[in-house]
C-alpha cells in the first residue's frame, strides 16, 4: 500500500470518488470508506482501538473510536492485579458477544420470541508453549422464551458456522463446539 495504515475489507467495496462515505451494515455497524490512492481502490477502514496504561505494570484501558472502554490486566502470576480482563479472556468475551448478536438478529428475522440470552464459554489453552493459543473452546447458550426449538438450533448453528467473525477467526487454531439449552 505504501503507507503504514492497514485496511480491513468489510462488506462490499464501493467506488465513491475521493470523499468518505458511510454505509449501513447489519447489526448497526457503520464504517467509513476511504480511497487508497496507491491502489486506486476503495477499502473500508476497519476498527481502531487505542490501548493505554492506566497504572504500572499491566493495568490497561482499551478504547474504541466511539469512546467505549474495556479494562485489561495481566494475570497475578506475572504481576497483574486481576482488575481487568486478560487479553485472552477478551477474545472469549468477543466470541460470546458476537455470536449472541447474531442469534438475536436471527430470532428477530424469524419472528420468534427470545426473552433473554446468556452465553457461557469455556476455553482451554495449549500448555507449555509460547504463544499459548486456544486449542478447545465450548460455547453454551442459555436461551429464554417461547420459541421453536428448530429456530434456536438454526440460529446457534448459523452464528457459529457462518456469521460470527470471532468464531471464524478462532477456529483456525481451536476446535470450537457449542450447545444450547432453554431456561426459565
Strand partners, 22: 32
pLDDT tens profile 79-99? 999 999 999 999 999 999 999
pLDDT tens profile 43-56? 356 889 999 999 99
Cα angle 35-41-43, degrees, rounded to a multiple of 5? 65
Within its chain, how far is the Cα of 134 from the centroid? 15
pLDDT value of position 131: 96
pLDDT value of position 46: 83
Output Rg (C-alpha) for the chain, integer angstroms: 19
pLDDT value of position 45: 62
Q: Which residues of the chain have pLDDT under 50?
A: 1-43
Amino acid at each position: 500500500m505504501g503507507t503504514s495504515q492497514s485496511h480491513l475489507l468489510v462488506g462490499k467495496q464501493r467506488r465513491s470518488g475521493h470523499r468518505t462515505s458511510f454505509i449501513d451494515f447489519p447489526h448497526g455497524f457503520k464504517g467509513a470508506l476511504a480511497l487508497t490512492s496507491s491502489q486506486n481502490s476503495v477499502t473500508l477502514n476497519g476498527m481502531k482501538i487505542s490501548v493505554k496504561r492506566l497504572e504500572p505494570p499491566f493495568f490497561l484501558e482499551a478504547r474504541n473510536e466511539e469512546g467505549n472502554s474495556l479494562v485489561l490486566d495481566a494475570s497475578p502470576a506475572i504481576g497483574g492485579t486481576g482488575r481487568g480482563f486478560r487479553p485472552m479472556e477478551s477474545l472469549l468475551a468477543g466470541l460470546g458477544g458476537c455470536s449472541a448478536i447474531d442469534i438475536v438478529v436471527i430470532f428477530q428475522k424469524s419472528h420468534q420470541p427470545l426473552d433473554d440470552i446468556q452465553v457461557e464459554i469455556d476455553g482451554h489453552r495449549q500448555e507449555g508453549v509460547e504463544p499459548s493459543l486456544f486449542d478447545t473452546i465450548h460455547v453454551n447458550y442459555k436461551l429464554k422464551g417461547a420459541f421453536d426449538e428448530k429456530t434456536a438450533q438454526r440460529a446457534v448453528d448459523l452464528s457459529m458456522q457462518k456469521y460470527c467473525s470471532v468464531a471464524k477467526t478462532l477456529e483456525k487454531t481451536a476446535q470450537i463446539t457449542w450447545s444450547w439449552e432453554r431456561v426459565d
